[in-house]
Structure 1
Amino acid sequence: MTDDGPATFDASEQWRTNRTTFQRVYDVLVGTDDPASAQQFAEWADCSENGARQALQQLTEMGIADKTDTRPATYKRNASYLRWKRVEQLARENSPSDLRTRVEELIEEDQGFQAKYGVPEPDAVVTTEDAVDDHEELHQQWEDLSEWRTIRRDIQVLQQAVHRAESMRDERARV
């Protein structure tokens, strides 16, 4: 107890207290890029290895996680599941016309990068240190290429969301 009232929990303690083992393992899974063992997930999610393994098995059955056939087995997030979830969220929260407008804006940004670098895609840009004399210019180029790749990915996701939003609208119209 402090002078201001009951002692406050820190964020990680609140996360452990307010989330189930399954929810904590899910949180860790979607926040990591690299495959990891159930033991590692247990450490990260502050739970037993058996609890992590059970949660990971459920997540694998749901299509949210992918499991390797290695010994020990490792698990990683299923990128296509997260992409599908994002498409669904965008389609629910935005109209097809709003999504199309955003796609058009991103296409203009993409075309700006194509013009700036004189190549059709970010992977065609030469990024060796020999090609750029100024360190800050090289750093800016890396930032540009990262942003350009993100724009390309976002265009694809948004185009899928446009189609999904249109089909959701059509489904509602039939009801």
Structure 2
Amino acid sequence: MSNPGHPDDTDAIEKERQRWDQGSSTRDRVYDTAIQLYEPATVDDVASRAHCSEGAAREHLEWLSARGIVEPIDGRPKQYQRNHAYFEWVRANELRREHTDAELETKLSALVAEEQAYREQYGVADPGQIDALAEADYDSLETVWEDIGDWKTIRRELRIIERARKDRNTLSGAGIVG
């Protein structure tokens, strides 16, 4: 289940456990574990990481699933992973509440410029089109991988800001937000 260099890595798990030693509920531990499931994980995996029984992990994962926070993956054994769309929605709502239209527009413009710079640098429209091994020599391979990751982050932030702006317009049109 561990993916080095990813939020699921061993250091993150150890930090989780140290924080839990200071006291937290089973539901909180399962939630903290579940929101870090970038790859599918079994109930047993979650129970082990959250320091709880499989029954408790299953109960809380089903509760989180019913609220759209995690997604169940059918199979034997059943697995769960975080629902990325849910977290993008949460982030969009935070941006909409915490920033003015002008601030969102400024953020959007800066991100569009950064994305355009990557498009020009690599001569492709999407970071998934970059062949890092063909693009770089051994010494610059890490830089290319970082650029790909940064570009993907920029694209995700663009989607989230656009959603925040769209949601604000929809809510304003409905008379919900002033």
**TM-score range, shorter-chain basis?**
0.7 to 0.9
Aligned to 1:135: 138
SS at match of 1:171: coil
Paired letter, 1:36: A
C-alpha distance in structure 1 between counterparts of 2:108 and 2:140, whole Å = 28
Unaligned stretches of 5+ in structure 1? 1-9
Identity %: 31
Equivalent positions of 1:14-93 (< 5 A) are 14-93=19-98
SS at match of 1:120: coil
Unaligned stretches of 5+ in structure 2? 1-14
Q: Higher relative contact order by CA 8 Å / sep ≥ 6: 1 or 2?
A: 1
C-alpha distance in structure 2 between counterparts of 1:16 and 1:22, whole Å = 15
Aligned to 1:4: none
Paired letter, 2:58: R
Query: Of 141, 145, 149, which aligns to 1:146?
Result: 149
TM-score, with normalisation over the residues of structure 1? 0.82
Given that 1:16 and 1:46 are in contact with CA atoms closer than 8 Å, whether structure 2 keeps it comes out as: no
Query: Of 111, 126, 148, which aligns to 1:106?
Result: 111
Identify if the C-alpha distance between structure 1 residues 98 and 43 changes in structure 2 by more than 3 Å, giving closer, same or farther: same
Aligned to 1:126: 131
Q: Deviations over 1:104-152 (max 9, x none)?
A: 00101111111222222222333225x53x3222222221121112111
Q: Deviations over 1:36-76 (max 9, x none)?
A: 12121111111111111110111111111111221221111
Query: Of 99, 118, 123, which aligns to 1:94?
Result: 99
Larger radius of gyration: 1
C-alpha distance in structure 1 between counterparts of 2:71 and 2:94, whole Å = 22
Q: CA RMSD in A?
A: 2.1
TM-score, with normalisation over the residues of structure 2? 0.81
